[in-house]
Amino acid sequence: MNSPSVLEMQHVHKIFFPGTENQRHILKDVSLDIHPGDFISVIGNNGAGKSTLLNVIAGNLKADAGTMQIMGNDITNKSISSRSKWISRVFQDAKLGTAGDLTVYENMAVAEKVNGHVNLRFFNSQKKRQAFKQKLTTLKMGLANRLDTPVKYLSGGQRQALSLLMATISSPSLLLLDEHTAALDPKTSAEVMELTNQVVNEQQLTSLMITHKVDDALTYGNRLIMVQDGQIKVDLSSEEKKNLSKGELMALFEN
């Protein structure tokens, strides 16, 4: 028997300002089946509807039509907070995923608590500090000895690496990566992308990653989706992706 889908979207539409002269039909009958362990890159032109797609999945926006199930649960009309037991998100702006005035330790403890796995007895125990330090060491971003540093003093790359760690601390069913390397310099962006790949592979996470970096979309993940004018126009498997050159992928943008 096939394992159940992580996410099943069926015939989803999103229309902004419906019934007005400003009406914009952004998602047009989008159906998407995400399987356990899928690491999907999502590419597409500016304004194609990629972020709207992520927002509808996360619950920031309500779909105007269609249905969505996650791990077999109907979430079509569920709030962001009730979806958060399954879904985590890393944003382009690391400030959205972390609290600047709290320390690295406090941010991690809050992330665990939000995800419902904290034992308050251990909230500031040596054991917990050790466990967090261990997790930070694996990031190789110079954070292991910064447990007591307020997050606002970290570099952009360190802060984004911490966001990633926090978003994955309780192994979400679905990880949404929303251009999460776009605001970083090229070297740091490459480091955070490698780190993402490491975390996703080690924890066997199911992930959906929006990126404008065509090289990253080709290099990472087992599936590649192209969104055009509110529709999924291309959905490539790992094998199809492997056989596609950057030039051929770029040409698909023009079709």
Ligand X SMILES: Nc1ncnc2c1ncn2[C@@H]1O[C@H](COP(=O)(O)OP(=O)(O)OP(=O)(O)O)[C@@H](O)[C@H]1O
Q: Smaller CB distance to ligand X: residue 16 or 123? A: 16
188 binds ligand X (CB under 6 A): no
Place of tokens 């776009």: 182
Q: Which stretch binds ligand X (CB under 6 A): 40-48, 97-105, 126-134, 161-169?
A: 40-48
The helix or strand, by DSSP H or E, that contains position 127, with its residue range, turns out to be helix 126-139
241 binds ligand X (CB under 6 A): no
Among candidate residues 169, 192, 195, the one with its CA nearest the CA of residue 88: 169
13 binds ligand X (CB under 6 A): no
In the region spanning residues 146 to 165, those forming contacts with ligand X, defined by CB under 6 A, are none
Token pair listed for 29: 């009958």
Q: Which stretch binds ligand X (CB under 6 A): 42-50, 131-139, 194-202, 218-226?
A: 42-50
Q: How far is CA 205 from the centre of its chain?
A: 10
Contact 164, 89 (CB under 8 A): no
Q: Smaller CB distance to ligand X: residue 28 or 135? A: 28
- Site track for ligand X across 97-136, x = CB under 6 A: ----------------------------------------
Whole-number Å distance between alpha carbons of 186 and 181: 9
Among 46, 81, 243, 245, binds ligand X (CB under 6 A): 46
Closest approach, Cβ 244 to ligand X, in A, equals 21
Q: 104: left (phi > 0), else alpha (psi -120 to 50), else beta?
A: alpha
Contact 240, 39 (CB under 8 A): no
Q: Give contact residues for ligand X (rule: CB under 6 A).
A: 16, 24, 26, 44, 46-52
